[in-house]
């Protein structure tokens, strides 16, 4: 546990150092360009605090809620399906080729189809993000299941374990790091897709706030929204790191 805390503290330190470098580069670029489209960080951070708690908190809360629902939905489908493909050769041969064909298709291109099927409400925005995360996680989980040593399964079977016990006590603990990896890989893409989805048929969400500020030529508000979206992504990554430090032994 001590090693996990040390690793986590090191990550926070590295993250803080990276943030300082990014803000310094942003400040320098803003001074060089001297354009109101890119205000300097102190102005943006000052405006960000002016926008808190409202309206920015409502927009951030709407985006966070959509991401969390999408994560739950994608995990609920990708993990059992990935385990099935990893454990059953027949299922893998039947479904993996179709999944491979779908994987490289930009999921944001399916947004109009999702709107037509699910309507223009919350279900469509959550659904498109869940779709992105599902494919990111599916193959990671499947490959992790395939990598589970067969000797572990044989030992449990020799002790009288049933297939459900194999999944519970061998497969799931073995693939949990892969699940976190899939979520970490997919989070950035999911936020990008959510940003685009929030520009249609809604008045809440950081994507809406950023585009609305841009259309009103409120560039400081726009940059405050971009910073807020970045913070949201960092928070999600931090939660995944916390889960990894607590549940994954190195």
Predicted confidence at residue 12, as pLDDT, reads 74
Predicted confidence at residue 6, as pLDDT, reads 66
Question: CB–CB of 224/47 below 8 Å?
Answer: yes
If one counts the domains in the chain, the total is 1
Q: Is 84 exposed, middle or buried (0-12, 13-18, 19+ CB in 10 A)?
A: middle
Q: Which domain holds residue 64?
A: 2-247
Predicted confidence at residue 183, as pLDDT, reads 86
Flag residues of the chain having pLDDT under 70: 1-8, 249-250
Question: CB–CB of 82/141 below 8 Å?
Answer: yes
Q: For the domain that residue 101 is a member of, what is the CATH number?
A: 1.10.3720.10
pLDDT tens track for 71-104: 999 999 999 999 899 888 899 899 989 888 888 8
């Amino acid at each position: 546990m001590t090693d996990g805390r040390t690793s986590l503290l090191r990550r926070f330190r590295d993250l803080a150092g990276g943030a300082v470098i990014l803000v310094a580069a942003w400040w320098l670029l803003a001074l060089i360009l001297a354009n109101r489209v890119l205000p300097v960080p102190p102005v943006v951070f000052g405006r960000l605090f002016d926008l808190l708690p409202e309206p920015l908190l409502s927009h951030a809360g709407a985006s966070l809620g959509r991401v969390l629902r999408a994560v739950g939905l994608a995990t609920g489908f990708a993990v059992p399906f990935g385990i099935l493909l990893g454990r059953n050769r027949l299922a893998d041969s039947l479904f993996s080729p179709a999944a491979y064909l779908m994987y490289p298709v930009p999921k944001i291109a399916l947004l109009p189809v999702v709107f037509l099927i699910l309507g223009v409400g919350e279900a469509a925005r959550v659904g498109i993000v869940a779709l992105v995360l599902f494919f990111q996680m599916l193959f990671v989980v499947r490959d992790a299941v395939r990598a589970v040593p067969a000797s572990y399964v044989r030992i449990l079977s020799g002790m009288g374990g049933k297939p459900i016990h194999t999944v519970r006590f061998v497969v799931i603990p073995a693939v949990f790091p892969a699940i976190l990896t899939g979520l970490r890989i997919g989070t950035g893409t999911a936020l990008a897709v959510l940003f685009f989805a929030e520009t249609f048929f809604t008045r809440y969400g950081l994507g809406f706030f950023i585009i609305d500020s841009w259309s009103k030529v409120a560039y400081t508000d726009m940059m405050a929204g971009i910073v807020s979206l970045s913070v949201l992504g960092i928070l999600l990554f931090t939660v995944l790191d916390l889960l990894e430090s607590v549940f994954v032994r190195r």
